[in-house]
Chains A and B, each alone.
Chain A
């Protein structure tokens, strides 16, 4: 209640239209541009028709765009109040997925919610970003030196990481953990504290490897030697590299990519959509897409830096990091640089939850931009 009053006092003239005008339309345009690239790629993955991928995906995007603009209008105060309920809801979903999730590809990741399949780990990531941003906003930079105040947010990160690991979904767990860590870093965690956390990581990794599922170990092995099992676990990596390589500098031409069009490329509409783009448009097309993704990441980071409140800054940082990690993991995966792990390429890969959650995140980012000059709820030494 208290910050709501302050918020209203600070920005008394904000009307919906004014706020809409404040939206960073250049950034929205970039998002739309990438969605168009995604539409084109899914059109090709569908064999040159809007069905079954491109059409439904574009409808989801439009829905996501409306949701994003709606979120952009929400003031930080409302978002902060959303943080806890959303976080708890997402944790409940993660627990539910372990209990009754749909088995897909050897892992429990999906849950049916009101007739649609959702992947709670996607929601958990966004909820965690919101949660951490509001937590660090409240404790402020000055109190970051107090390790006790870092324990609750650390648990907030570890809980979903543990649940997602249990699914098991190693890739997403790593992304959630990294997003969380980057927010600790952005929030101003002291360097000695960072050192204290980072140093034992190699040991923990060794122990963690011992607890991996066999199929995850197999992924690591086949990643190191894909040719050892060319028709089994190594097939995806080999075929993906073949498809990429055959694209060359200028590509095989739109709708002409032989590996993608002839189904040598596995899951070309989801995880391997970038391979398909790079096969058909070549290195030139691939690097343009990477450039666009990088612009969105950097744009998000710059929006974060422009914010005059810690909440907005950390929100922007978390969303950008999340988006960046999606991209980096997916691209590394399809280029055979890291093991394959079921991470889609945001805005481009076919899939409902991922698309909606990415747009949800951009909505939060837009809200941070629209309300970048707002100051609220902070006690000491903030911009005013």
Chain B
């Protein structure tokens, strides 16, 4: 303002002088012209500033946000898996890790050397650390060692002043408190493979694990939880300046299995060292109470990577420790198949319970002689006796009358050779009930002999132990029971868990009664094949069926010698020993299937084992059982 006044005064004063003082007049005019230009230019710049800041401000504000915000994600704790009583069978343990923040030390080799003196670093650690030091930005922590022991931690804490840049960080690692006991059911986790990361970038987060078998695999998405995130302010080189927002993410869902871990332990104890599998089901609702496949493996080994030697040992083992035999093992059912054949015949009307068939010890079909297991024959017998003695000739004849298509259709209704879609496990095999159509599809003719051998569960017939247990449950209840392993996800109970929800199988009840009576006779009557399966519990009886499934053709010479001794054969040539059963007979609660690989006679090996398992199950009553306090399995849970 002051200037303005002076200027105008000056101008007015200078005017009369102009003639006398042309330089001042010219200067004033020209200076004013320059001022106008200067004002115009600065004005234009002000206008441009207005354009950038106000008119286009929101556009640039958005760009600025993108500049400065960086969102980082972290792995949430994986959901626990418990047994039916809430005992953890897969949980998380705190994992202490030592990290190195390269930018906080001036002497990286020195720090590493001092660190290695305190906590030894293996060759493979050193190589990895060097690689990461070269490839990661200096403000991103590099893992030096994980799974630090308390001793290591204490020594590191003590030496922190001489270890600039070293940080102790806590993550989690998966632990399986029961180790091999539930490995096949629960499965295991492993670091994600590259192809997993391609499909889901979240998996690239440190600490993320992918379920690789069992429930861990099939329920991976539920167990994984929701990734947490931290929104951070970063500067132009990407360094974190401040934490703006944190989303803790969600711990994965807790999954409760139908398994009773206590019963599982007892079943495994009964099996001992044998290569075998056993399934115990609640035959009213399909809950799998125990599913044992022996031998097994320690699932914890996968979290940090299995060694080559260990892997080779597992895969070369003829007893296939990595395979869950209960759902992936395929076995000819042998005589355990007979109740299904009988049911098919009853339904088809090719057999009535009172029909008698003569067993002279063999039958000739299409020019071939098929032998009964008893070379002397069983004489004239009915269905009940046929089951009780497990007469082969009786079922050869029944199968011949009924035809394989009808047998296959019925046995699939019992779950044999059928896809049990409710079971929450990977690698579930379907098995096979052969039919002429199937055989033709593979370019062969189906001849009468095929039907005959299929009638006693040999030949091409292949089923899994889980299918056998389901089959036993369905015989016991007449209901279309579906086996399943998950009781609840995040506290939400599955629908089929409710008792009695399984639909009726819509087969006449008296057919079931006839077959159940035969299976009762197998165990409880004089002359039955499985007297060793009789329960030693007053008032409780069990019904069952034995099976000894040959894994190779028995030559005529061997048969005619009459006393070939299976036990003298090499292990892999011995027949599988099978047994299916349910109890109590008058009010079925539990069904069990046992398959002992190359265990010889089902009656001698599988039946007593099944009896022991059933005895344990009944004593324990896993449907209502609660562990008494103070007896819970020691765990190290963090969540």
- Which chain A residues have a beta carbon within 8 Å of chain B's beta carbons? 26, 140-142, 182, 185-188, 239, 241-249, 258-259, 261-264, 278, 282-283, 286-287, 290, 293-294, 297-299, 301-302, 304-306, 308, 310, 313, 317, 321, 324, 327-328, 331-332, 335, 337, 381-383
Query: Given the known A-B contacts A305-B7, A313-B27, are A264 and B68 also in contact in the complex, defined by CB atoms under 8 Å?
Result: yes
Task: Judge whether B45 and A335 touch: CB under 8 Å.
Answer: yes
Q: Which residues of B contact A244 (CB under 8 A)?
A: 49, 52-53, 60
Task: Judge whether B68 and A302 touch: CB under 8 Å.
Answer: no
* Residue in A26, A140, A290, A298 whose beta carbon sits within 8 Å of that of B35 in the complex: A298
B182 to chain A, nearest CB (A): 51
Task: Judge whether A186 and B34 touch: CB under 8 Å.
Answer: yes
B20 at the interface (CB under 8 A from A): yes
Task: Judge whether A245 and B35 touch: CB under 8 Å.
Answer: no
B236 at the interface (CB under 8 A from A): yes
B390 to chain A, nearest CB (A): 81
* Residue in A185, A261, A264, A306 whose beta carbon sits within 8 Å of that of B34 in the complex: A185
Complex alpha-carbon distance, A294 and B38, angstroms: 8
B240 to chain A, nearest CB (A): 11
Task: Judge whether A302 and B7 touch: CB under 8 Å.
Answer: yes
Q: Select from chain B the residue with minimum beta-carbon distance to A286.
A: B49
B138 at the interface (CB under 8 A from A): no
Give 13 new A-B contacts, CB below 8 A, not counting A242-B60, A244-B52, A306-B7: A142-B22, A186-B27, A187-B23, A245-B57, A246-B57, A248-B61, A262-B67, A286-B49, A294-B38, A302-B7, A304-B31, A308-B24, A317-B34
Query: Given the known A-B contacts A188-B27, A317-B34, are A335 and B61 also in contact in the complex, defined by CB atoms under 8 Å?
Result: no
Q: Chain B 494-508 against A: per-residue CB contact (8 Å), 1 yes, 0 no? A: 000000000000000
* Residue in B28, B41, B46, B59 whose beta carbon sits within 8 Å of that of A245 in the complex: B59
Task: Judge whether A383 and B24 touch: CB under 8 Å.
Answer: yes
B38 to chain A, nearest CB (A): 5
Q: Which residues of A contact B160 (CB under 8 A)?
A: none
Task: Judge whether A293 and B53 touch: CB under 8 Å.
Answer: no
A223 to chain B, nearest CB (A): 14
Q: Select from chain B the residue with minimum beta-carbon distance to A331.
A: B45
Q: Which residues of B contact A246 (CB under 8 A)?
A: 57, 60-61, 63-65
B413 to chain A, nearest CB (A): 68
Complex alpha-carbon distance, A230 and B38, angstroms: 32
Task: Judge whether B39 and A186 touch: CB under 8 Å.
Answer: no
Q: Which residues of B contact A243 (CB under 8 A)?
A: 60, 64
B334 to chain A, nearest CB (A): 73
B473 to chain A, nearest CB (A): 66
B212 to chain A, nearest CB (A): 42
Task: Judge whether B42 and A293 touch: CB under 8 Å.
Answer: yes
Q: Which residues of A contact B61 (CB under 8 A)?
A: 245-246, 248
Q: Which residues of B contact A241 (CB under 8 A)?
A: 52, 60
22 A–B contacts from the bound complex (CB under 8 Å): A239-B67, A244-B49, A244-B52, A245-B59, A247-B57, A258-B67, A262-B233, A262-B241, A263-B237, A283-B50, A287-B46, A290-B46, A297-B38, A298-B3, A298-B35, A298-B39, A301-B38, A302-B3, A302-B7, A310-B27, A324-B42, A382-B23
Complex alpha-carbon distance, A308 and B41, angstroms: 28
Complex alpha-carbon distance, A140 and B26, angstroms: 12
Task: Judge whether B23 and A188 touch: CB under 8 Å.
Answer: yes
Task: Judge whether A247 and B35 touch: CB under 8 Å.
Answer: no
Q: Which residues of A contact B52 (CB under 8 A)?
A: 241, 244-245, 335
Main SS of the interface on chain B? helix
Q: Which residues of B contact A259 (CB under 8 A)?
A: 64, 67-68
Q: Select from chain A the residue with minimum beta-carbon distance to B20.
A: A381
Q: Which residues of A contact B20 (CB under 8 A)?
A: 381
B545 to chain A, nearest CB (A): 76
Q: Which residues of A contact B67 (CB under 8 A)?
A: 239, 242, 258-259, 262, 264
Task: Judge whether B26 and A141 touch: CB under 8 Å.
Answer: yes
B17 at the interface (CB under 8 A from A): yes
Complex alpha-carbon distance, A244 and B57, angstroms: 8
Complex alpha-carbon distance, A304 and B53, angstroms: 35
The tally of CB-CB contacts under 8 A between chains A and B is 168
B128 to chain A, nearest CB (A): 31
Complex alpha-carbon distance, A273 and B223, angstroms: 52
B304 at the interface (CB under 8 A from A): no
Task: Judge whether A324 and B60 touch: CB under 8 Å.
Answer: no
Complex alpha-carbon distance, A26 and B560, angstroms: 130
Q: Chain B 350-376 against A: per-residue CB contact (8 Å), 1 yes, 0 no? A: 000000000000000000000000000
B396 to chain A, nearest CB (A): 83
Complex alpha-carbon distance, A141 and B26, angstroms: 9
* Residue in A302, A313, A324 whose beta carbon sits within 8 Å of that of B24 in the complex: A313
Complex alpha-carbon distance, A382 and B35, angstroms: 24
* Residue in B34, B38, B236 whose beta carbon sits within 8 Å of that of A263 in the complex: B236
Complex alpha-carbon distance, A301 and B32, angstroms: 8
Query: Given the known A-B contacts A262-B235, A264-B236, A294-B38, are A245 and B63 also in contact in the complex, defined by CB atoms under 8 Å?
Result: yes
Complex alpha-carbon distance, A106 and B48, angstroms: 30
Complex alpha-carbon distance, A150 and B42, angstroms: 30
B278 to chain A, nearest CB (A): 64
B261 to chain A, nearest CB (A): 54
B54 at the interface (CB under 8 A from A): yes
* Residue in B11, B17, B48, B59 whose beta carbon sits within 8 Å of that of A337 in the complex: B48
Query: Given the known A-B contacts A244-B60, A247-B53, are A301 and B34 also in contact in the complex, defined by CB atoms under 8 Å?
Result: yes
* Residue in A282, A299, A305 whose beta carbon sits within 8 Å of that of B27 in the complex: A305
A384 to chain B, nearest CB (A): 9
Complex alpha-carbon distance, A306 and B9, angstroms: 10
Q: Which residues of A contact B68 (CB under 8 A)?
A: 258-259, 262, 264
B2 at the interface (CB under 8 A from A): yes
Q: Which residues of A contact B53 (CB under 8 A)?
A: 244-245, 247-249, 278, 282-283, 286
Query: Given the known A-B contacts A262-B233, A262-B236, are A305 and B60 also in contact in the complex, defined by CB atoms under 8 Å?
Result: no
Q: Which residues of B contact A247 (CB under 8 A)?
A: 53, 57
Q: Select from chain B the residue with minimum beta-carbon distance to A140.
A: B23
Complex alpha-carbon distance, A298 and B40, angstroms: 12
Complex alpha-carbon distance, A297 and B31, angstroms: 11
Complex alpha-carbon distance, A229 and B10, angstroms: 53
Complex alpha-carbon distance, A244 and B35, angstroms: 27
Q: Chain B 586-621 against A: per-residue CB contact (8 Å), 1 yes, 0 no? A: 000000000000000000000000000000000000
B420 at the interface (CB under 8 A from A): no
Q: Chain B 58-84 against A: per-residue CB contact (8 Å), 1 yes, 0 no? A: 111101110110000000000000000
B553 at the interface (CB under 8 A from A): no
Complex alpha-carbon distance, A26 and B32, angstroms: 21
Query: Given the known A-B contacts A262-B241, A383-B17, are A283 and B54 also in contact in the complex, defined by CB atoms under 8 Å?
Result: yes
B419 at the interface (CB under 8 A from A): no
B440 at the interface (CB under 8 A from A): no
B625 at the interface (CB under 8 A from A): no
